[in-house]
Structure 1
Amino acid sequence: MSDVRAVLMQKVEAAHDRLVATTQRLVAVASPNPPSDTAEIAAVAEALLREIPGIEIEAIEPEPRVRSLIARLSSGRPGRRLIFNGHLDTFPVLETLPWTVPPLGGVLKDGKLYGRGVSDMKGGIACSLLAASLLADHRDTWRGEIVLTLAADEENMGSLGTGYMMEHVPQARGDANICGDVGSPKIVRFGEKGLMWVEVEAAGEPAHGAHVHRGVNAIDRLRAALDRIKDLENVPFQAPAVVAEAITKASGISEALSGRGESQTLQRVTVNLGTIEGGTSPNLVPIHAIARADIRLPVGITTDILAARLDEWLAPLEGVSWRAIRRFEPSFTPPDHELIRRTASVAAEVLGSPPAVNMRVGGSDSRWYRKYGVPTVVLGLTPFNMGGADEYVMVDELVAVAKIHTLVAFDFLSAR
């Protein structure tokens, strides 16, 4: 097996130009969300998949043009099923930003590969595609099957993409999932915070701004409600010791890449008041105001607990109502799980130094896999200017991630 692993490593290195070209083909097709139209990018991804001998491909389209793909590659022998998961949609292209390169051009310059969605996550998909292709050439050395789920709708929380496939397509589930979503090859992510988006409304009574005694200001009512929502950041909870220990241990490497303070953010409830609207004129008492907030939850607390607090705290506020727009629970695969250990070991082998093993601040489609009991690891490319002008990734990281995906899949499927 060591000989096969060495050959696979060499083949990834030899496929450098192919890996770049695959990423460029994916970047060249716009797939912004909104509107979650992935029909054209799915056609390109399908063409790339068909280059893998013996692969079976099915298109999944729960709504018109919201298209995902599921591809199956069998070894011909019974064994475990490994999933490579990725999302085809991206942030909006935003051509009006000050791009210095064409946003869909896939420009390669100074070891950097540019384009909208190259980090989130068309480069990661290219890595998984190469891994599957190389493993197809050596299918006599592993058992079971490899499945690629290339999903729509991730930027809209995935209910019509990975979520739909997990609920309706049995072969989309498996024994383990590798996701190449944005991150860093130096950080093995084993879980992510949950989220709850809330909308809060306040009603008032009209009056002229000079006669405030005759009206009720909806914005004042909303302000009081928003203060209580911010109080969610102080709700006590107890995280599992294994998660807290992993976050602390990872901080030295992880914060250098993801920003100082990441460790604290991973271990507390955060509230971002994202939008506020209300009123029509400075000299009129507003009769309506509305705000929306993004609440992120660490492992150890649930959306039910936070919702109960909001019911309790906001109910006494006259004229105020609230509702949850979206809810996902925090989730994690135990950091000592076989998949996480294998990924960390391979990453150390490829990079020459041990990676951090940590939670993820942002969300990913991996939440859907964990929801259905599928162990999941996220390891992808470091993002530069993600969502902004001149988004890019480092080509040497493309190669590193492709090596890690290939070897982890091989090790997992060849294990006795």
Structure 2
Amino acid sequence: MTVPLAFDAAVEAAAPALLAFLDRLVAADSANPPGDTRSVAGLVVDHLAAAGRAARIVSQVPEKPNVIAVAEGRGPGRHLVFNVHLDTVHPGEVADWSVPLHAATHRDGRIFGLGVGNMKGAVAAQTLAFELLAAHPEAWSGRITFTAVADETVFGPDGAGFLLETEPDLTGDAMICGEGPGAMALALAEKGLLWLALDAVAPSAQGMLARPLSSAVTRLAAAIAEIDRWNDTTAAPPAEIAAVADHPERDGLRLSVNAGTIAGGRFVSQSATRATAEIDFRIPPGLTIADIEARVDAVIGRIEGLSRRRLKGWEPNWTAASSPIVAAVAAAHGAVRGEAAVPVVRLPASDASRWRRLGVPAVCYGPQADRVSGVDDWVYARDVVDCAKIYARAALAFLSEPT
């Protein structure tokens, strides 16, 4: 039996325990906000300890611990970082859920529960893969660092960002993030983000004297209506990731524009003197923040009394399809799933972008079934098991190549 097949067999033998571990992770509430990850971090530390692996807790605030564990191979080599996050998105309206939030529901090969897709399924799978790799250092060279972080779902300062600032050894030579882009696809890239506030002002007047675009509200509404039509805009991807254009949905290459908040005016019979909207742009590879801001400036330049403010933003980011870590994960997917990996652009942000900004190749791959997690979050149980195999196989391949 080859080494990869031996690891596959070890994962398969551990599958019942792996899924039971996932059940316990789901039962540990770590919704963000407030983002308290102490309970779920404790479960990960205990699981590692039971496998004979020591872990460190690193925290900027006590309620948001991050877990770090390190394994060394048979000799010098590359450094691979595994990365998962411990917090989950907030459930929103609990009444909209048809399953319990914090009790895993197993049904027809699926597992439901808050955060099971985003991303406790990947937490369980990467934990097991790391433990098996650590138990067999003779099978690979170099170093594997397992990171399970807090504060990711709000892209806050207390998780991976804090670790990379205070633990320079965590950068590594490549990173596998457990954020699944949906349907077991392989995300080489993710959209950028731009949050803009549009501010409108207009002279004071009685409403009965209104004319077209005479109030701050109508000026703002006109701009929003024009900007909203950009939702049909698509981009041509950079040559390094040209293959993502073959994905039939192509949503990863579409600019999305969402006017999330709007406020203005004082009283129904008075012309509004001030109004503000906050707009969320998700920018595909092939476009930039400068492109979007230039288009916004052109719109507000045609409407009197409008200005903009940047609230937050970062550029689209990607790892070249030719990168060794992409090849390793794609080959592992093909061996386990019996089909070629589908390269895509992930829609939400992930901690992979933090590593890419440091020049480290990073991919996102995990069992999240939908492109964006939401009500009745779920995974296929088989996908969780397969991910553990694929993480282990990818690490073996990446850490067996010459540096």
Partner residue of 1:402? 388
Tell me if the contact between 2:326 and 2:363 (Cα under 8 Å) persists in the aligned partners.
yes
Partner residue of 1:298? 284
Partner residue of 1:105? 103
Q: CA deviation at 1:216?
A: 4.4
1:33 corresponds to 2:3: no
Partner residue of 1:59? 58
Q: CA deviation at 1:201?
A: 1.8
Q: Secondary structure at the match of 2:172?
A: coil
Tell me if the contact between 2:210 and 2:271 (Cα under 8 Å) persists in the aligned partners.
yes
Q: Secondary structure at the match of 1:97?
A: helix
Partner residue of 2:2? 3
User: Quick one: which amino acid aligns to residue 22 of structure 1?
Assistant: F
Partner residue of 2:244? 247
Q: CA deviation at 1:385?
A: 10
Partner residue of 2:133? 135
After superposition, where does 1:36-115 map in structure 2 within 5 Å? Answer: 36-61=35-60, 63-75=61-73, 77-94=75-92, 96-115=94-113
1:335 corresponds to 2:307: no
Unaligned runs of 5+ in 2: none
Q: CA deviation at 1:154?
A: 1.5
TM-score, normalised with respect to structure 1: 0.88
Distance in 1 of aligned mates of 2:138 and 2:232: 55
Deviations 1:124-165 (A, max 9, x none): 111100000111121122111111121222121244322222
Q: CA deviation at 1:399?
A: 0.9
Partner residue of 2:12? 13
2:344 corresponds to which of 358, 366, 371: 358
Q: CA deviation at 1:227?
A: 4.3
Q: Secondary structure at the match of 2:279?
A: strand
Q: Secondary structure at the match of 2:158?
A: coil
Distance in 2 of aligned mates of 1:235 and 1:5: 43
Deviations 1:244-292 (A, max 9, x none): 3x0233x2xxx4xxxxxx31x3334332222222234433322322211
Give aligned pairs, total: 401
In terms of mean alpha carbon deviation, does 385-394 or 137-146 score higher? 385-394
Partner residue of 1:369? 355
Deviations 1:336-392 (A, max 9, x none): 211111211111110112121222232211111111111111111143596544322
Q: CA deviation at 1:28?
A: 0.8
Q: Give the direction of change, closer, same or farther, for the CA distance of 1:305–1:148 in structure 2 (3 Å limit).
A: same
1:314 corresponds to 2:313: no
In terms of mean alpha carbon deviation, does 77-86 or 116-125 score higher? 77-86
Q: Secondary structure at the match of 2:67?
A: strand
Q: CA deviation at 1:403?
A: 0.8
Q: Secondary structure at the match of 2:321?
A: coil
Distance in 1 of aligned mates of 2:287 and 2:111: 40
Distance in 2 of aligned mates of 1:193 and 1:135: 32
Q: Secondary structure at the match of 1:296?
A: strand
Deviations 1:304-344 (A, max 9, x none): 33334434543564432221222111111111211111211
Tell me if the contact between 2:198 and 2:309 (Cα under 8 Å) persists in the aligned partners.
yes
Aligned Cα root-mean-square deviation (Å):
2.6
In terms of mean alpha carbon deviation, does 235-244 or 157-166 score higher? 235-244
Aligned identity (percent) is 34
Distance in 2 of aligned mates of 1:294 and 1:49: 39
User: Quick one: which amino acid aligns to residue 202 of structure 1?
Assistant: A
1:289 corresponds to 2:275: yes
Distance in 2 of aligned mates of 1:46 and 1:407: 23
